[in-house]
Structure 1
Amino acid sequence: MSEPKSIGVALFGAGRIGTIHAGNLARHPHASLRYVVDVHAPAAQSLAAVHGAQVATVEQALADASIGAVVIGSSTDTHADLIQRAAAAGKAIFCEKPVDLEVERARACAEAVRRAGVVCMIGFQRRFDPTFAALKQRLDAGEIGTPEMLVVTSRDPGPPPASYIARSGGVFKDMLIHDFDIFRWILGGEAVSVHATGGCPGMPEVAAAGDISHAAVTLRTRAGSLCQINTSRRAAYGYDQRFEVLGSKGLLQAGNVRPTEVVAWGEQAISCDKPEAFFLERYRAAYALEIEHFFDALVHGTPVRTTIEDGIKALELAELATRSWREGKALECAV
């Protein structure tokens, strides 16, 4: 059997995540990065030069029949437009979360994808993290019986600039959208209620930008399983990403990743490395694995694990959590 041909790729976005995706595309045997598209020309030129690609406009990239897939890592406000245009051009789509900041626009994207009949995968890379995926596999194997409670800790080492926070869609859509996806993935059910609360202890600049820096969310599934998510835009000790699942027969924990696993034992204390600095380091393996999965799915015709419907479901929960926080009460989910 002959080796499958490589798939021509156009990458939208030459920033931090675009750079990560470009490197992973360059290493994948079935992907051929041909175009880099970014409104900031120097960034596009620099990244394209590293990988032997060309700089192009959106129109040029989508008009090229040799392009079979697009990878969207540009700013959130471009996602919906690029998804719809790529779908209309018949390209397979990998898009970073969120689909959009507005649920109705995200649903319009899903309809465009459905009409075009193209593959569309949303970048919920945490499902591909080796530790998280191993926990899920053991959970599905019945190791701890029926899952009853999920506790998620998700904290950034420091807040982004106030200018970013003001246009981010808020902490629930910007940060917790990943955790809402984890909730659906791990517990395997949909929420029937959401209760969110939060504030800005010691971070008035976040409040001035119209957002909160700390949040706690409780979700309940139809089966009665509970999920508690706690998040903060500031953790002085590093990027804190972990969760645990309590089941009828035990507990499974997925902890942080550290630069090394060396532990120093001394007279005064036992010490180890702090967690990885931020998301690019923490999820380095996950980003590579999700791109590998996307192109393997295209080559072999298998379904992708994180669909645009998953993106919409997570966004709906983020929207409901935002409303719950603002209204100060628990809200029921539409069924």
Structure 2
Amino acid sequence: MKVGIIGAGRIGKVHARNISMYIPEIQIKTIVDPFMNKNMEQFAKKYGIPNITKDANDILNDPEIEAVLICSSTDTHAKYIIKAAKAGKHIFCEKPIDYDLKRVHEAIDAAKNAGVKLQIGFCRRFDHNHHAVYSMVRDGKVGKVNIIKISSRDPEPPSIDYVKVSGGIFYDMMIHDFDMARFLAGSEVTEVNAVGSVLVDPEIGKAGDVDTAVVTLKFENDAIGIIDNSRKAVYGYDQRVEVFGSEGCAFNNNDIPNTAVLCNEDRTSCENTYKVMWDRYTGAFVAEMHAFLDAIDNNKETLVTGVDGLYPVLMAAAATKSLKEGRPVKISEVE
């Protein structure tokens, strides 16, 4: 399958590198970025991408390109989903679809009306650790789900320029955890309560955001969720989930490069956690592309649908409203 990638920034390069190295069934024909520069061109050459352009229409109008990977800035996601759908291209789009719920619905409807596949890039569903916990819950090994706990902490905060356009911690960072919470619970969220502080970088506060947040969730099935986020964990990329139920508890610890342990008279130590998301979730990024390809080849529903992309945006909107107003917010208030 020939694909085009819109956006040659961080996540666009991650997908391009992984496809080129690990997924021979997919060929990247064209990569586009309005800010295409020498570094991007050298990257494309290194990974065998033949066509480099600044115009997305070079992808959308190419009959050989069957699918589009949308890896551009969030404020362009919905626009390119709609354009790609009208062009008859299958669509993989990074999260979130958009900050505006009206635009999210427009994008989902465009893909549905065009009869093309739409998969949203919630890669953590495909992580071997998180998915193992999900499988245990799905198979009934913990009984009725009572409590879900998710910790998600980055090694360092993004640039202030990025923070200013990110939509805030709930749309940019915790949105992954919102998706994971409903994925693990097998139920939709009805109410969100958020608290947040600026504890990492005062500049983040000046940009109108928080860098440390805790959110509690209430689900339709009466389960309770707890999510904590921090923009800075000095020890590395911290990603853990736990599902506590009536008959047991399933949880995972952080992935590390190796599991070797050194014991001596001073201490017992093991490898540090991964320092960047791209290393921590390499396997998940590859797996989600295989799933996207499988959905197209076998005409199946994608494993992370447009509706799956909608609900975390609803939760982010509710969390943002909750933080500003200092009260729990029902999803029905923002839906």
Alignment match, 2:7? 13
Which of 169, 190, 202 is the aligned partner of 1:192? 190
Comparing 40-49 with 184-193, which one deviates more in the overlay?
A: 40-49
Alignment match, 2:32? 37
Comparing 198-207 with 141-150, which one deviates more in the overlay?
A: 198-207
Distance 1:307 1:248 in 2: 30
Alignment match, 1:46? 42
Corresponding letter in the other structure for 1:17: I
C-alpha contact 2:31 2:49 (8 A) present in aligned 1: no
C-alpha change, 1:177 and 1:202, in structure 2 (3 Å) is closer
Distance 1:24 1:309 in 2: 26
Q: CA RMSD in A?
A: 1.3
Per-residue CA deviation, residues 74-115 of structure 1 (Å, 9 max, x unaligned), is 121221111110001000000110101211111111111111
Corresponding letter in the other structure for 2:31: V
Distance 1:231 1:52 in 2: 36
Give the percent of matched residue pairs that are identical in Structure 1 and Structure 2: 38
SS of 2:66 mapped into structure 1: strand
Which of 90, 98, 101 is the aligned partner of 1:100? 98
Alignment match, 1:4? none
Distance 2:49 2:304 in 1: 30
Structure 1: gaps of 5 or more residues: 1-6
1:93-242 alignment runs, 5 A limit: 93-242=91-240
Alignment match, 1:3? none
Distance 2:220 2:132 in 1: 26
Distance 1:202 1:194 in 2: 24
Corresponding letter in the other structure for 2:29: R
TM-superposed deviation, 1:40: 2.2
1:268-283 alignment runs, 5 A limit: 268-283=266-281
C-alpha contact 2:146 2:245 (8 A) present in aligned 1: yes
TM-score normalised by L of structure 1: 0.95
Which structure 1 residue ranges, 4+ long, deviate > 3 Å from structure 2?
none
SS of 1:41 mapped into structure 2: coil
SS of 1:167 mapped into structure 2: helix
Distance 2:40 2:156 in 1: 27
C-alpha contact 1:24 1:291 (8 A) present in aligned 2: no
Distance 2:113 2:200 in 1: 48
SS of 1:149 mapped into structure 2: strand
SS of 1:179 mapped into structure 2: helix
Alignment match, 1:297? 295
Distance 2:191 2:42 in 1: 47
Distance 1:274 1:28 in 2: 29
Distance 1:52 1:77 in 2: 26
Distance 2:84 2:40 in 1: 19
Aligned residues: 329
Corresponding letter in the other structure for 2:17: G
Alignment match, 1:76? 74
SS of 2:228 mapped into structure 1: strand
C-alpha contact 2:200 2:212 (8 A) present in aligned 1: no
Comparing 37-46 with 279-288, which one deviates more in the overlay?
A: 37-46
1:255-334 alignment runs, 5 A limit: 255-334=253-332
C-alpha contact 1:35 1:48 (8 A) present in aligned 2: no
SS of 1:144 mapped into structure 2: coil
Distance 2:200 2:314 in 1: 29
TM-superposed deviation, 1:44: 4.0
Query: Is structure 2 residue 57 aligned with structure 1 residue 59?
Result: yes
TM-superposed deviation, 1:237: 0.7
C-alpha contact 1:239 1:277 (8 A) present in aligned 2: yes
Corresponding letter in the other structure for 2:19: L
SS of 2:203 mapped into structure 1: helix
Distance 2:323 2:10 in 1: 31
1:243-258 alignment runs, 5 A limit: 243-258=241-256
C-alpha contact 2:194 2:320 (8 A) present in aligned 1: yes
Distance 1:237 1:221 in 2: 32
C-alpha change, 1:97 and 1:174, in structure 2 (3 Å) is same
TM-superposed deviation, 1:18: 1.2
Corresponding letter in the other structure for 1:66: E
